[in-house]
Chain A
Amino acid sequence: MSTPLEKPQIIAHIQKSLNYTIFDSKWIPCSAKFVCMGNFARGTGVIQIYEIQRGEVQLLKEIEKAKPIKCGTFGATSLQQRHLATGDFDGNLHVWNLEAAEVPVYSVKAHKEIVNSIDGVGGLGIGEGAPEIVTGSRDGTVKVWDTRQKDTPVANMEPVEGEAKRDCWTVAFGNAFNEQDRCVCAGYDNGDIKLFDLRNMSVRWEKNIKNGVCCVEFDRKDINMNKLVATSLEGKFHVFDLRTLHPTKGFASVSEKAHKSTVWQVRHLPQNREIFMTAGGAGNLHLWKYEYPAQRCKKDAEGVDMGVAGTVNLLQNVTLSSQPIASLDWSPDKQGLCVCTAFDQSVRVLIVTKLNRV
């Protein structure tokens, strides 16, 4: 490389091929371990725990379950318990104690169809208030769960009776900066993004970005909501500034055509909310930085406050695979360490350098 290596570099530290389709991967908090969740060819689900040991990944445990597992999260567990919440192809929500994973700690038939996406908040010291799990499903509903309440969700966002059910592809928690406030953002296959306010049980904002919403994420879950990134089917992503909601124009946003194919994932760096990585359908990763405008808020022609979007700068991009990268997770403990899985049935541990100098 001729250019001086001042930019962050993405290093493919470890790569390992597996014998199943991996849908999701997550770091186990406060450890050098991560879990991979997926689907064996024989139609069963699998959770594997890997640990990185001196440049290698070592399989510590493999747990096979009846149904393919689509997604998982540690967001609603304590640092001591570290229970994994998963959603499977059959619409079940399970919470597993990975040390004793024969029987789930919590189990509920959450949806009629596949759980596409799951997120947790209130655990790991991230987010004030009760630990809760949100699931989004093909059946069109978004449900919020509290593991202290059996069988029924604590909140349910379902389509109006009689209207076509839209496939909910992604859900994310945010705005959990005190015990009362909390938001769920959901993205649907028709390009709808909906921001549900769990405090008032209302739709706070909605927007259609014309193409299916593959992934949404708040820059941080546990602050007064600041930014939201939504990625779409046709390769664009949008960054919304959530601080100023204009009555007609809504939130200000900036969009960027990042990949030539679907942007499957977006994940913000846990140590710096301005930096995020997008994972594309062509097996590439793009690392971005959001720059704020000089003024985040201005008056429009009628003197009403409206937000001003900033700009996004590409910091680095790499191509890892020819297959879509379906999941991506930053290590919460080590800045720059991340794990990603692609549909080429391999899992990769990446190191991103110089993130603190950006």
Chain B
Amino acid sequence: MSCLSGQERGTNKVPVEHLDYSFIEKCTDVRYLEKILRILRSGEEGIFPHLIEYCEKHIRKLDPKSRALRKEKPPATAASFTKEEWSQITDELKTWEEEIKVNEVKIKQTPLLCNEENVPPVRGSHCSIQVKSYSIGANKTKKNAAPPRDYRDWDKFDVEKECAKIDGDITENEPAVIINHGLPKIRRKMDTAALTEQEKIQLADREKDKGNEAFRSNDYQEAVAYYTRSLSVLPTVAAYNNRAQAEIKLQHWHSALADCQKVLEMEPGNLKALLRRATVNKNLGDLQIACDDVKTVLCSEPQNMIAKRLLEELNTLMRKNTHGVASKGKKISIQEVEEECEELEQELPSHKQAKGFSQRVGGDSSRSTAPKERGDMGNTHKKSHGRNEGVGGGGSPHAEPQHAWRGKGGKNANKYKVQPNGEAPDSDRDKDKLSNGNCRGQPNDSKKTEQAEEKVNLDAPAGALPPPLARLKNEGNQLFKNGQFADALEKYSQAITGFTEAGIDSPEDLSILYSNRAACYLKDGNSTDCITDCTRALELQPFSLKPLLRRAMAYESLERYQKAYVDYKTVLQIDMSVQAAHDSINRITRLLIEQNGPEWREKLPEIPVVPLSAQRHRVEAPPTAEEAQARAERAAQEAAKRAEAQFTVLKMEGNDFVKKGQYQEALGKYSKCLTLKPDECAIYTNRALCYVKLERFSEAKQDCDSALRLEPSNKKAFYRRALANKGLKNYVACSSDLKEVLQLDPTVQEAERELEEVTMLLKNSQDSPDKPRRNVPITEVEEGDEEETQAPSRGPEEVKENSPGSQNHCSDGPDANAQPTNAYDFGQALNAACSRGDVAACTELLRSTSPEKLPLYICSHLDGHTLSFIIKVLDTHLMETDPKLVYQHLSHLHTADRFSVVLMLLDDNERLQMTQLFEHLSAVECEDFSNTDIQNLASKYIRASV
């Protein structure tokens, strides 16, 4: 612009000398350049194609969106694309044409599904809106000053009326702003009753698209609503995955987690879901789990940038959790004070993250969603309390000191993670432990109650310290806890001076004081002093854990990695369970290798050998039994709390599966539930139900037993155990269980019915005590399995058809070839054998059944498949060993009811088999029957069937 004088810009004319490379190059006024371009293009001053091009290029550089650059373009043709692209485009269209034609035919063929009653009624009676044309001037005339009043008018002037008029004007002129978010009004579930499958797919897809669009415009709640709608039509991986992402944006971690789990169930190894789950877990504080997920992703896709970044974040978070504050310097104290405020406001919604959220979403975050959000955030918060880990979210990676003080214990591996951030300075109890030679230094548990009351007795005696010093120390602890590290530092320093002046000989106490002061230094980012204090503390009290850990962190923050490494190693020698040390060592090792190459180990200073007496894991002497128990309880509580969310999700899913009849899947869910919460009676009974349905009776029984152990009067458990016992044919136990149920609740009709049935069965089995049941060894069943390949394969439907009483016959089938005593037993055994294609069992069965009774027994079970199965068995298994029996069976079989009907239903293969059977039979020489007998018999089978 500098090159343009005002005069030139003012005129419309562009001087000819401006149509020049050097001028265009210098000019930065896009408008003017556009003008130049226009002249150049018009050809008024001659045609300079290169100059035009140059000018265009220059404009593009300055303003890529300039309108002057828009040229009329012909539509693209095949020539605009590479061969592959073009063929891809045309092929895609062709396949689409074919697909859509098929779909169209399908839609035409499906009967018209009318959904009349679901269509909303016709809009109310003929209504109309009067439309005025909107004139721009309309508002202006209103603004025109009113003509001055006539003097006479003032006599009639009514002040109040005029005032009201003015007020009215104001309200009229300023209607409230309308923020248009129909979110609560969107139905979450769609009515799909009258839709064909095709339409459902389309609909689900469209709703998902709507969700995607809402997501892209940052309307995450709307996006969730639309994804939910899509899922209500047709659950798809993509919709779950996207909903998870939207939930993440809304920081609804638990819903997001549930969605990720769903995806991973439907499609294990879905990378997006894994990444999203990792993000959720990161924010829920489960850094390790998150890490695992990210690593899985990186395994299959090592170049995944998101995963890499996430892993980095996770690593920094973990590092921060373990020691992070040291390097951050003095900012921390302020930050922590802020966090403390949050902590106090915990009941209010103004949690930092919640605030952030509502601002981000801006006007869209409606009031109705606020409480929900609050609840969620509350959860996250609680979680991080419980877990003793950094507060979720990137915003506040440091756990507040209070967390550790109130610390709910946590798992062994976790407890040290917190220490460095929210570490409680060692206190008196430490001393006791130390003197026991136990450097565990984890006073949180025992101190919890004391601290929770928030009433700290500052004069509490502290070891061998005289009261004034003890007071100083306690004050220091208190200040430290409040995050006032500088003040705490002062108190500790006073205590130390007082200590030396007093000349007390108590190295433990002095060591603790130094160690505590070191903690303050560490917090203040003063690593050098921290190291000095730690060293002093260690001189006084060698191999105490906390000073070592602190010194290691200080070294690390000073980038003296070798020393840090040695200290961490020493820490691990004392207590293997310090997770922070493990993590840091991993990290430092990497750094050291980078620095010193493969020989880094040789350059390390010597790692001191920790005497056995100081090794925590060797001297596994928990202070008292009660404390250990208390800790264990807390740990259990902790685990339970964490598992709670997951547990409920799993349980719900399990119940859903049961409702759908997918027992196998439900089984998996319940089993997972039980790993989380092994003492939930309802889950045991539910799982038992699944087992019963799947006919795995012995497992069902076990589950019922477990349930009854937990709840000795659970009637469901009794009832299901009865069913299981029935399945196991243990009728006595079954009836006693049923009686138990009826005693607990006499109104259970199912139990009564079962009881009747079982009593019958019981009587039957008792009636024939002389026929002992033979337990078939398992090997025999396996044999049967092998032979299954020979047996004609049976579809699942056939099996069902063959076993109407399927809930009663047991799948293990040890009793399948016991001697049948009545039609029922025979039918059961036959069905079992038939459905499994167990030829051996059937052979046994036929062997043990007397031919005379066969028609009687078989009549109710006779169908084509059974018949052909029996024929096959007779032919292949009984023929060689006992042709007489085959003959007898055959001569009686055709007298069974419905035999002729069944015979007609046989297919060609089966008929062929029958002919073969008779051929084989006639080939056998036997004195019990002649060839004519066989022919007579064969005619009954074959002629009737032809």
Which of A55, A125, A245, A333 is within 8 Å of B178, CB to CB? A245
Cβ of B123 within 8 Å of any chain A Cβ, yes or no, is yes
Which of B126, B173, B210, B363 is within 8 Å of A244, CB to CB? B363
Cβ of A17 within 8 Å of any chain B Cβ, yes or no, is no
CB <8 Å contact, B126 and A153:
yes
A30-B104, A160-B132, A318-B75 known; A131-B119 Cβ under 8 A: yes
Task: Convert A151-183 into 0s and 1s, putting 1 for each residue whose CB lies closer than 8 angstroms to a CB of B.
Answer: 011111111100110100000000101111100
Stretch at the interface among B90-98, B529-537, B572-580, B898-906: B90-98
CB <8 Å contact, A223 and B121:
no
How far, in Å, is B778 (CB) from chain A's closest CB? Answer: 57
List residues 289-303 of chain A with CB under 8 A from any CB of chain B.
292, 295-297
Q: Give the residues in chain B near A181, CB-CB below 8 Å.
A: 182, 185
Q: Give the residues in chain B near A333, CB-CB below 8 Å.
A: 96, 100
CB <8 Å contact, B180 and A271:
no
Cβ of A148 within 8 Å of any chain B Cβ, yes or no, is yes
Cβ of B133 within 8 Å of any chain A Cβ, yes or no, is yes
Closest to A154 in B: B123
Which of A13, A159, A178 is within 8 Å of B133, CB to CB? A159
Cβ of B364 within 8 Å of any chain A Cβ, yes or no, is yes
CB <8 Å contact, B123 and A274:
no
A5-B80, A159-B133 known; A306-B177 Cβ under 8 A: yes
Stretch at the interface among A39-47, A83-91, A111-119, A186-194: A186-194
Q: Give the residues in chain A near B135, CB-CB below 8 Å.
A: 208
List residues 713-736 of chain B with CB under 8 A from any CB of chain A.
none
CB <8 Å contact, A166 and B180:
no
Cβ of A279 within 8 Å of any chain B Cβ, yes or no, is no
Q: Give the residues in chain A near B183, CB-CB below 8 Å.
A: 224
Q: Give the residues in chain A near B94, CB-CB below 8 Å.
A: 54
Which of B77, B85, B134, B178 is within 8 Å of A194, CB to CB? B134
Question: A337 vs B89: C-alpha distance in the bound complex, in angstroms?
Answer: 11
Closest to A318 in B: B75
CB <8 Å contact, A130 and B185:
no
Question: A243 vs B85: C-alpha distance in the bound complex, in angstroms?
Answer: 40
Question: A5 vs B77: C-alpha distance in the bound complex, in angstroms?
Answer: 12
Cβ of A207 within 8 Å of any chain B Cβ, yes or no, is yes
List residues 92-137 of chain B with CB under 8 A from any CB of chain A.
93-94, 96-97, 100-101, 103-104, 107-108, 110, 112-113, 119-124, 126-136
Cβ of B181 within 8 Å of any chain A Cβ, yes or no, is yes
CB <8 Å contact, A196 and B129:
yes
Closest to A256 in B: B67
Which of B119, B123, B216 is within 8 Å of A144, CB to CB? B123
How far, in Å, is B492 (CB) from chain A's closest CB? Answer: 49
Q: Give the residues in chain A near B176, CB-CB below 8 Å.
A: 247
Question: A180 vs B113: C-alpha distance in the bound complex, in angstroms?
Answer: 24
Stretch at the interface among B198-206, B267-275, B284-292: B198-206
Q: Give the residues in chain B near A192, CB-CB below 8 Å.
A: 133-134
Which of B77, B185, B199 is within 8 Å of A79, CB to CB? B199
Cβ of B752 within 8 Å of any chain A Cβ, yes or no, is no
List residues 320-358 of chain A with CB under 8 A from any CB of chain B.
320, 333-334, 337, 350-351, 353
Which of B77, B90, B103, B180 is within 8 Å of A243, CB to CB? B180
Q: Give the residues in chain B near A79, CB-CB below 8 Å.
A: 107, 198-199, 202
Cβ of A19 within 8 Å of any chain B Cβ, yes or no, is no
How far, in Å, is B375 (CB) from chain A's closest CB? Answer: 25
Task: Convert A6-21 into 0s and 1s, putting 1 for each residue whose CB lies closer than 8 angstroms to a CB of B.
Answer: 0001111100000000
How far, in Å, is B211 (CB) from chain A's closest CB? Answer: 10
Task: Convert B156-192 into 0s and 1s, putting 1 for each residue whose CB lies closer than 8 angstroms to a CB of A.
Answer: 0000000000000000011111111111011100000
Which of A131, A160, A242, A320 is within 8 Å of B131, CB to CB? A160
Cβ of B12 within 8 Å of any chain A Cβ, yes or no, is no
A220-B210, A246-B177, A296-B362 known; A163-B133 Cβ under 8 A: yes
Cβ of A101 within 8 Å of any chain B Cβ, yes or no, is no
Task: Convert A182-211 into 0s and 1s, putting 1 for each residue whose CB lies closer than 8 angstroms to a CB of B.
Answer: 000000101010101010011100111010
CB <8 Å contact, A80 and B107:
yes
CB <8 Å contact, B110 and A224:
no
How far, in Å, is B222 (CB) from chain A's closest CB? Answer: 7
How far, in Å, is A284 (CB) from chain B's closest CB? Answer: 7
Cβ of B76 within 8 Å of any chain A Cβ, yes or no, is yes
CB <8 Å contact, B129 and A9:
no
How far, in Å, is B753 (CB) from chain A's closest CB? Answer: 47
Q: Give the residues in chain A near B217, CB-CB below 8 Å.
A: 226, 274, 292, 296
CB <8 Å contact, A157 and B75:
no
List residues 62-78 of chain A with CB under 8 A from any CB of chain B.
none
Which of A54, A132, A142 is within 8 Å of B97, CB to CB? A54
A interface size (C-beta, 8 A): 100
Cβ of A317 within 8 Å of any chain B Cβ, yes or no, is yes
How far, in Å, is A161 (CB) from chain B's closest CB? Answer: 8
Which of B76, B120, B126 is within 8 Å of A11, CB to CB? B76
Cβ of B600 within 8 Å of any chain A Cβ, yes or no, is no
How far, in Å, is B238 (CB) from chain A's closest CB? Answer: 13
CB <8 Å contact, A245 and B218:
no
CB <8 Å contact, B130 and A350:
no
Cβ of A104 within 8 Å of any chain B Cβ, yes or no, is no
CB <8 Å contact, A157 and B131:
yes
Cβ of B65 within 8 Å of any chain A Cβ, yes or no, is yes
CB <8 Å contact, B75 and A198:
no
Q: Give the residues in chain A near B113, CB-CB below 8 Å.
A: 80
CB <8 Å contact, A159 and B123:
no
A54-B94, A154-B123, A284-B72 known; A164-B202 Cβ under 8 A: no
Cβ of B603 within 8 Å of any chain A Cβ, yes or no, is no
CB <8 Å contact, B73 and A319:
yes
How far, in Å, is A153 (CB) from chain B's closest CB? Answer: 7
Question: A153 vs B127: C-alpha distance in the bound complex, in angstroms?
Answer: 8
CB <8 Å contact, A201 and B97:
no
Cβ of A61 within 8 Å of any chain B Cβ, yes or no, is no
Question: A106 vs B186: C-alpha distance in the bound complex, in angstroms?
Answer: 31
Question: A7 vs B94: C-alpha distance in the bound complex, in angstroms?
Answer: 23
List residues 205-247 of chain A with CB under 8 A from any CB of chain B.
206-208, 210, 220, 222-226, 242-247
Question: A350 vs B70: C-alpha distance in the bound complex, in angstroms?
Answer: 20
Closest to B180 in A: A243
Question: A245 vs B441: C-alpha distance in the bound complex, in angstroms?
Answer: 62
Cβ of B81 within 8 Å of any chain A Cβ, yes or no, is yes
Q: Give the residues in chain B near A154, CB-CB below 8 Å.
A: 122-124, 126-127
Q: Give the residues in chain A near B226, CB-CB below 8 Å.
A: 223
Cβ of A128 within 8 Å of any chain B Cβ, yes or no, is yes
Closest to B73 in A: A318
Task: Convert A126-154 into 0s and 1s, putting 1 for each residue whose CB lies closer than 8 angstroms to a CB of B.
Answer: 10111110000000101010101100111
Cβ of B785 within 8 Å of any chain A Cβ, yes or no, is no
Q: Give the residues in chain B near A159, CB-CB below 8 Å.
A: 130-133
CB <8 Å contact, B75 and A257:
no
Cβ of B503 within 8 Å of any chain A Cβ, yes or no, is no
How far, in Å, is B239 (CB) from chain A's closest CB? Answer: 15
Q: Could you list 30 A-B pairs, sorted by A, with CB under 8 Å?
A: A12-B76, A31-B104, A32-B96, A32-B97, A32-B100, A53-B97, A54-B97, A80-B113, A81-B112, A130-B119, A156-B128, A157-B131, A159-B131, A177-B186, A198-B123, A201-B128, A220-B210, A223-B226, A224-B222, A243-B180, A243-B181, A244-B363, A245-B179, A247-B174, A274-B213, A296-B218, A305-B177, A313-B65, A320-B75, A351-B89
| Other 15 A-B pairs with CB < 8 A, given A160-B130, A271-B209 | A11-B77, A125-B199, A154-B124, A155-B129, A157-B131, A158-B129, A160-B131, A163-B133, A208-B134, A245-B177, A292-B218, A295-B362, A296-B364, A305-B363, A318-B76
List of 8 A-B pairs having minimum Cβ-Cβ separation, nearest first: A224-B182, A156-B128, A154-B123, A12-B75, A245-B178, A9-B76, A297-B363, A319-B72
- Give the interface of A toward B (CB within 8 A): 1, 5, 9-13, 30-32, 52-55, 79-81, 125-126, 128-132, 140, 142, 144, 146, 148-149, 152-160, 163-164, 166, 175, 177-181, 188, 190, 192, 194, 196, 198, 201-203, 206-208, 210, 220, 222-226, 242-248, 257, 271-274, 284, 292, 295-297, 304-306, 313-314, 316-320, 333-334, 337, 350-351, 353
